[in-house]
Structure 1
């Protein structure tokens, strides 16, 4: 890691949760990954605690739904203003619990605030009841579709972006008329609590977000607590366990898991912009970004120039330690495997405890774990390919399908549309995440369901169809009074409508 990112750091800590029992309540400490110092203590909520939180959220949900779109919009915009006013206060908690630089935490808050605004101001247009064409057989009906809320949504959040990522579920669920029970990561419980406090300060009438803290058992309890839906962000392995737990009660799930996101660099790409994006996308937040850049496929004729530009930019990378120290072991294993299988180290970084320097390796075989598994660290694999078509083929040769980036000229959109993933940035990196109107989510091992945009609002509702009869039809189709003559009349109408003779 560049020297300025390490300055003043004490010996990196090892991950360990200190639990204790005070007055009959078990607690655990959140730790600063930069120093190992205790940030704060939090309760380990039991299954009964979770059920109680859900019951409180159910009561609040009835009030919240009754406010209608306009009442909810007013209050959510008040929350937005509170987040703006207390941005640095919230960012300080993010820094303390994740170790990321302050400006990175601020950027995360800025993006989340924009999503709160979009969800609040677009919910009525997206979810309000709308008329649809009833068709020939329903000509006497007024047909409409509405999107009522689910009630209570359970959100299980990650530690890498503890504000921005769960807010993609929380803000959209609230705007849709639900209340939320939020289980933040055990690494960032304080972030969850301060988010809930800012909301309650802005909307004091009811607690719209209940926070439950603890470990996997607390999350499992939320899955079985009778919520209307679970929105989970985390690893693929944990996502499968969440789905299994929810299956017992047929609780629907939204699953956003990891990725092995690729960047395609074509022969006519702007190489300065591509190299800058590759370094930031691969190294920012210590590489702990599910939609970051882990693999780069660059066309052979510009590969040497591109790699030289990447190597020159890497010293400017500035980020914090690994939030989860054990993740450094994953980086170490992936680097070792890439080198053992013939990869050439372009930028060699050291790994000291939970502090990982940037690593860039060229020409890594596609069967290396550095290519097939999510690294979630500041390791960038750069592989040369003969053309953009081969780059697309390799980019798609994975079970993951979250995000991707394309740097190209005239054929950029064609390449982007060929990629098997949920989101693509063209001549940029992670830009889709900052556009509230765009849906966010993946395919395959990266999960399913969407947050953000109109799709994200509908994700936290249930479509409700209503057909209201305006007048009786002369042909009683759905009645035992229907006669053979009635049926002949109906068939004649159908034949005229659909262009063939019915016998």
Structure 2
């Protein structure tokens, strides 16, 4: 038997087990599912040190970054568990004129089995956005973690099995992209994928064979906009966090910065000072660690080289900053907008900073990309900040912070364009893993009945007069 058939068979077996578990899980009262989920949350929170060390061992990120990732994941798990019943309960809706004798409601039911394909950069926080909300909505989950962070995925599934050993509501399948493809082709009811736009297209093609619905969280090329009235110190410090955190391996991190020209030079000077203070390392307390995959340093180096060859300035670092597996902080200025460092996802500790005439030009440049995940704006005017946020083609925007939305469990997260579609987190995340079902029940016989094969002429005439009165004026 070929390896691909073995992988498919193993995945199919996991899905079959999940199918049986899903029937039990969905059949539980919502309050019982909540208790199980909160017990899982307590287990994860109580062992944060252990899980953080597992993350660190597989990704190289410092302990603080790994702990923050777990804390964020737990907050979202807690919110999903506590709010699922309220968000997904049956709701009455108005019936309208033609069906005024009917009562009507919409309810949300679980899909059944959800396949989750997770990334390596945030191996707990990112996939748990799908896992937690899928479980809270009443689904069973088969989780395919990245092959680079398999241990983290096994840790999560093992923790769940400690609490419910007889019900494999959360399982892990191990392997590379072939296993992910097998999961897409298995009899799952929905796929949640996080990764590159190119891989997302392959996932969608595989899911199309069964018309399996998908939610895609793609990459990003997120921009930070700095207006002339902004707090430059706060903006610079936020850029360092958003651009260098996790070695820049953050889909919603800061990769581009657009600064109004009057404050461009002082902002760049301060940002450069802060970046020169940062040195990556493999110690537990390093600001950030190595690139997590062997291929990433070469991509980062190509982007830096292309930007400089096209006339950009290396304000901090440069091509020589790439010392695999580490990449030192790199700040590039005056980079042409058609360079790879501006148009492609770099996924490294590299930021491009360019001047703009005004914030409106910054918004236009920020939107001139295939991506649309998130963005940040720094200004002292709340009104202006919100107005600029409204102009960004992005799924999330932070004003006077970066990644501010990540810590708000009630907010949905997702993007547009090559950044994907669908949402995780919040009420939208719960509904993402539920099927809406419409229900009506007749309260009394309609005195004017046109919902019949041959309505009475008098009933039809009266219905048409009422229709014209209502809609034809």
In the superposition, the TM-score normalised over structure 1's length comes to: 0.90
CA distance in 1, matches of 2:388, 2:414: 19
Moved over 3 A (4+): 495-500
Distance 2:35 2:434 in 1: 20
Q: Which moved more, 1:487-496 or 1:296-305?
A: 487-496
Which residue does the alignment assign to 1:281?
A: 242
Confirm or deny: 8 A CA contact 2:220 2:419 kept in the other structure: yes
For residue 361 of structure 1, give the secondary structure of its aligned residue in structure 2.
strand
Paired residues in the alignment total: 461
Match of 1:97 in 2: 58
Contact 1:150 1:460 in 2 (8 A): yes
**Which residue is 1:413 aligned to?**
386
Instruction: Tell me: CA distance 1:367–1:481, structure 2 relative to 1, closer, same or farther (3 Å).
Output: closer
| Counterpart for residue 482 of structure 1 | 455
1:378 to 319, 342, 349: 349
User: Are 1:343 and 2:312 counterparts?
Assistant: yes
1:25 Cα deviation after fit: 12
CA separation in 2, counterparts of 1:363 and 1:147? 51
1:127-276 map, 5 Å: 127-276=88-237
Question: In the alignment, is the contact (CA less than 8 A) between 1:154 and 1:223 conserved in 2?
Answer: yes
Distance 1:45 1:90 in 2: 30
* Alignment deviations for residues 13-43 of structure 1 (CA, whole Å, 9 cap, x no partner): xxxxxxxxxxx999xxxxxxxxxxxxxxxxx
Q: Is the 8 A contact 1:266 1:408 kept in 2?
A: yes
Provide, for residues 336-383 of structure 1, a one-character-per-residue CA deviation record: whole Å limited to 9, x for no partner. Answer: 011111111111152112111000011101011110100000001000
Aligned residue number for residue 294 of structure 2: 325
Structure 1 residue 160 displacement after superposition? 0.1
Task: Report Cα offsets for 1:452-483 as digits up to 9, x if no partner.
Answer: 11111111111100111111011121123521
Cα drift, residue 204 of structure 1: 3.4
Distance 1:453 1:46, change over 3 A: same
What is the aligned partner in structure 1 of residue 13 from structure 2?
Answer: 52
Larger helix share, 1 or 2: 2
Preserved CA contact (<8 Å) 2:395 2:413 = yes
Deviation for aligned residue 1:326: 1.3
- Given candidates 260, 266, 291, the residue that maps to 1:299 is 260
Task: Say whether the 8 Å CA contact 1:45–1:214 is kept in structure 2.
Answer: no
- State whether structure 2 residue 372 is matched by structure 1 residue 401: yes
Residue deviations 1:130-165 (CA, integer Å, cap 9, x gap): 100001111111100011000000000000000000
Shift of 1:126: 0.9
Distance across 2 between alignment mates of 1:305 and 1:199: 51
CA contact (8 A) 1:141 1:471 kept: yes
Task: Please provide the CA RMSD for this pair.
Answer: 1.6
